[in-house]
Amino acid sequence: MPAEQTDRPGAGLEYEDLSLMHEVAEATAGVSHLEMCIQCGTCGGSCPSASEMDHTPRRIFAMLRAGMREEVLTSNTPWMCVSCYYCTVRCPQDIHITDIMYTLKNMALKSGLVKDKTASDFSKTFIGNIEHYGRSFEIGLAGVHNLKHVKLAARLPNMAPMAIGMLTKKGMSPFPPKRIKGMNQLKKILKRAKELEAA
């Protein structure tokens, strides 16, 4: 599709190439309503992680509309999303913003464009725990993540009191959790989800 000049308010982008936007919308589960974005900024204004993002969701959607594949897929925005769904709930156009962020994470991983592996490694470790136990294993997740990505010598003095407090108050167990009942059913669900994603 040829690029067309546009003057969408607040987008700050000169050209429109809708092919990337359509690709993302199609890859997102359900009906994303991505094309309905009116650039109002409610998503970024609602987001508890917006200050850590290099682009707000509103800007990411404008970049999708402009066909800026590499810029979108190298952005840290999807990885900073904490999946609280507050942006989705507040969006006046009913855009499934959080689901779109999951799509962008998958696309970034598949394309090999993830610059900083910290967040994607955290996600992989978390998913590995879910696949193995059927639930999160906080101390295992924190342990693996910190060993891979944190200089413990510098951070350990600050982290130790909090970790000890959580362990003594039973906010976190040092032992792996028991697997959930119905683990076989969960594995079937996860397997089917992967098959649907691959299709």
For the chain, domain boundaries: 4-111, 118-198
For the chain, helix (H) and strand (E) counts, in that order, are: 11, 2
Q: How far apart are CA 198 and CA 187, in angstroms?
A: 16
- Beta-carbon count within 10 A of 190 CB: 14
Half-sphere exposure of 196 (CA within 13 A, CB side): 10
The CATH classification number of 4-111 equals 1.10.1060.10
Under the banding of pLDDT at 50, 70 and 90, the label for residue 13 is low
Closest listed residue to residue 176, CA positions, set 143, 141, 140, 149: 140
- pLDDT at position 159, please? 73
Residue 165: exposure state from Cβ atoms within 10 A (0-12, 13-18, ≥19): exposed
Is residue 122 pLDDT above 90, yes or no? no
Q: Which residue type occupies 47?
A: C
Per-residue model confidence as pLDDT tens digits over 42-71: 999 999 999 999 999 999 999 999 999 999
Instruction: Report the pLDDT averaged over residues 175-192.
Output: 90
More confident: 23 or 7: 23
Under the banding of pLDDT at 50, 70 and 90, the label for residue 6 is very low
Q: How many residues does the chain have?
A: 199
- pLDDT at position 73, please? 95
Under the banding of pLDDT at 50, 70 and 90, the label for residue 118 is confident
Listed in order, strand segments (DSSP E) in the chain are: 4-5, 15-16
Under the banding of pLDDT at 50, 70 and 90, the label for residue 96 is very high
Per-residue model confidence as pLDDT tens digits over 135-155: 888 888 887 877 777 776 666
Per-residue model confidence as pLDDT tens digits over 154-174: 666 777 787 778 778 777 777
Under the banding of pLDDT at 50, 70 and 90, the label for residue 103 is very high
Could you tell me if 56 and 44 are in contact, meaning their C-beta atoms sit under 8 angstroms apart?
A: yes
- Beta-carbon count within 10 A of 49 CB: 14
- Beta-carbon count within 10 A of 64 CB: 26
